[in-house]
Structures are given as structure tokens and as C-alpha cells.
Structure 1
């Protein structure tokens, strides 16, 4: 039975569309006036180039350029959503809070309890999303929000 299930999963991934639930994938919400400058100082990607409805993968580095965290940043009008690697939400939150100086206007909260993360993959992933009513842009970094679902193309 398990082999058939694995065969079916592999077939969905290689010829159709496969969903992967990510229960340990959390989400952080960063708000206030200095949120973009704050991330710009510590990460490798150009956070200032993000506009609402776009996203970017970035790397948070140590002062000696050691990679500490890799995560996706989703830009909204009044906030940045941070999608850390699986299982790293709490440790990323703690690290970021430790980097906020008294003059920084930055607030960070763990909003994982309000969201569920999943991944859809496979050659038919885009058409499956379109069948569900999404535009499903093929542009890397595009973000689409429909009915309380945030779709990030990577």
C-alpha cells in the first residue's frame, strides 16, 4: 500500500500537481516605519526594491558574512511578511528582536497561528491554481491575495 501511495505522489509531482502541507512553516509580520530599512541593513537582497504585491528570497547574515537564515519576504502595503525555513520561526523572531535598536521603528510578531503554509509543485501546478480561481502569475516573486490566501510564486 505504501509503495502505491508513493508512486501516486511521485506521479502527481512529475506529471500533475502535488500539494505539500508545511505545518512547521511559520510566518512573521514586520510593521512600522523602519521595517524595510531594518531588513535592508541585515540581508543580502534589496528590500528597498520590494513593492506591495512582490516578494524576494533573502539571506540574513552575521557581521562576518556567515549565512544565518534564508527566508522569503512578502511586501504588503503596511507590513512585510517573513516566511522562514521550516522550523525556524521562533529562532528567527528571537534573532530579529535582538537586532532592534532603541531608535528603530520596527515591530515583529509571530502570526503563524493565523496562517497555514503549503506548497504546490509539479508541471500542472499553475493550471491547477488557475482552475481554483487564481491568476497564478509565472513571474518569479509575484504575490497574489485571494480570499484570505496569499500565493507567492517562487
Structure 2
């Protein structure tokens, strides 16, 4: 199953890290410069099997998820999907998830750090009369993301043309060779691509098929670099008890027309009364900086760096900055390091 996939990846140069619970992640394939170029100008494939997959089924599944997260599930039909945020009762962020609506269930793709937590958290809100069932199907499935402008060409080579040109998070069951997979538009980044949900038994075969047809293997270390460059927030860094979805730049995941849901009153109040006190931005830096470093403008503390990565163009990070301090173009200092605030394609901010 997944071990066969890891053996195949190891044979092609993959090095692994191990998460708690023994889950292994291919962090690099020893080809970082080639893989990064493929993600920018060709097509790369990233193994995101360590992400969680939670299946929500039974008659009340749509209303249940509608009431538990920020997006509007009631307007979605089978074959469609959305990004949505699970928040606390005070609208603090738990996780940014992608939901795929199917005929008889909803599949949630959730962050690795939040898989078990969300299973327990969602289960707490299922009451006696609710017709909702939860199943963690992470062990039965694998997830691969195609990244890059040539993703369409790769799917064309594989005969999977029905999904090309569809809206974000639309998905279809498609045969790759003799293996039925689910292919969805989007890859968790603000870059062209797709997400492929694969039966675990066929994971190695599908991975090999993608690589044989031109996809360059890309490790989790580069996925982390890309997500920081793009502005995707993740749990324990940008998504914590300190921040809400408006601050995290996730306006595109919020529905202000839907009815009550957990955290809705706080989010509506913040939006109505322009109460967003800090916002997530990209920060171009002139030297490396440790996440957690305070951001200053003169003698005034204005925020905090949350993530850092090295890029071909130099040091780069994500950080929260007080709204009143400014936005794009603001010059800040992180310790002795100078930085400048920039906007990023994954982030959608509230206009002040």
C-alpha cells in the first residue's frame, strides 16, 4: 500500500521525515532546483498523502458542515467543492480545509496537524437526532498534487480531459489507465494544478504513471516554500488561537449571506465594523529571520513573523501586521533585518 509508494520514492532519491504516529513524508527527492523550476514553468507532482481525509456522510451531512464552518455548503452540488475554515466559537482559526461534494458524502482534505483534532471536534457537534457519520479514510487513500502550468498537458496525455477548464475545486472520477481516481481542480496553492485522490492500493502505480508522463517529483520542503511564497496559511503558524479568518487573509472562504454557524457572530461583527486589527502579508526580507520574531516600525511593535523560507530571490516570510500600521509597501524591521510588506496571490483581505 503506502509502503510500496515510499519504496518507489526512495528508489528515485527521496529522503523522508517522520511525523508523530509514524507517518512518513518525502521532504526532498534530491532535485530541488529542477523540481522548483517544474512547479514554476512545467509540472511537478507532490505527495500530500500525509494530509488528512475525513469522509462525512448520511442525510444531514451538508447542513452539518454548513453549520460547522465558514463557507456556504447549501449552494454546492455533487461535483463541486470549496475551501472552508473551521473556527472556534470566538472565530479563532482551527484549520483551512478543502471540501469535495459527492453524491452520498463529502470528503474533507485537512491539514496533517489537524486530522485527529478535527475528527474529535466534529464528533462533539453531532447530536442524537443528527444523521451524520464521520470516517477517517486517510489510511485507505493517498493524495497527490500536480503543480504548474503544464498540468493540463499532463492530464491530456493521460486522457483525463473532462476536468480541464472546470472551476476551482470541481472534481470528477476519472480513470488513469485502469485505476479510478478522483481529480479536483486546484492543489492547495495559488498556482495552476490539480489534486488527485487515489486508492491507497494503487498509490505507487499512479505516482509512477504521473512521473513517467513528465511530472517532476517535488518534496514537502519545496511545497512549504511555495505555500509561503503564495501566502497559504497553515495550522500552528498562521492558523492559531491568536487569529481569525479575516486576519488570515481568507476572505474567499467566508460566506456573509449564510445563516448562523460556529463563530459567525464574531466574524460578521468584525466585518461590519471594520474590526480587523491585524492582517497576514508577505514580507520580503534582506536576510534570514526566525519565525516568531517581532516586526517593528521605528520603536513601535506592529506584528510578528510567522513563517520563513529561502527563495531564489532571497529571504522571504509571512507575518501578521497591525492594520493601522499599513499594508503593501510598509517598511518593517525584524530584529536587525529590514523587510517590506507585499501582497500575495493566495490571500484575500478585507478592504479598510
- 1:46 and 2:72 are equivalent in the alignment: yes
Q: TM-score, normalised by structure 1?
A: 0.92
Contact 2:100-2:170 at 8 Å conserved across structures: no
- Rounded Cα–Cα distance in structure 1 between residues aligned with 2:123 and 2:112: 19
Runs of at least 4 residues off by over 3 Å: none
Aligned to 2:280: none
Shift of 1:88: 2.1
Structure having the larger proportion of residues in strand: 2
Structure 1 unaligned spans of 5+: none
Aligned to 2:229: none
Aligned to 2:45: 19
Q: Could you list the per-position Cα deviations for residues 47-99 of structure 1 after superposition, in whole angstroms to 9, with x for gaps in the alignment? A: 01111111111011211111212111111111111110233211111111111
- Rounded Cα–Cα distance in structure 2 between residues aligned with 1:87 and 1:119: 18
Structure 2 unaligned spans of 5+: 1-27, 187-352
Deviates more, 1:127-136 or 1:52-61: 127-136
Contact 1:30-1:109 at 8 Å conserved across structures: yes
- 1:101 and 2:133 are equivalent in the alignment: no
Shift of 1:24: 1.0
RMSD: 1.8
Aligned to 2:153: 127
Aligned to 1:115: 141
Aligned to 1:153: 185
Q: Which has the higher contact order (CA 8 A, sep 6+)?
A: 1
Q: TM-score, normalised by structure 2?
A: 0.42
Deviates more, 1:138-147 or 1:49-58: 138-147
- Rounded Cα–Cα distance in structure 2 between residues aligned with 1:70 and 1:77: 23
Which structure has the greater CA radius of gyration? 2
Contact 1:52-1:76 at 8 Å conserved across structures: yes
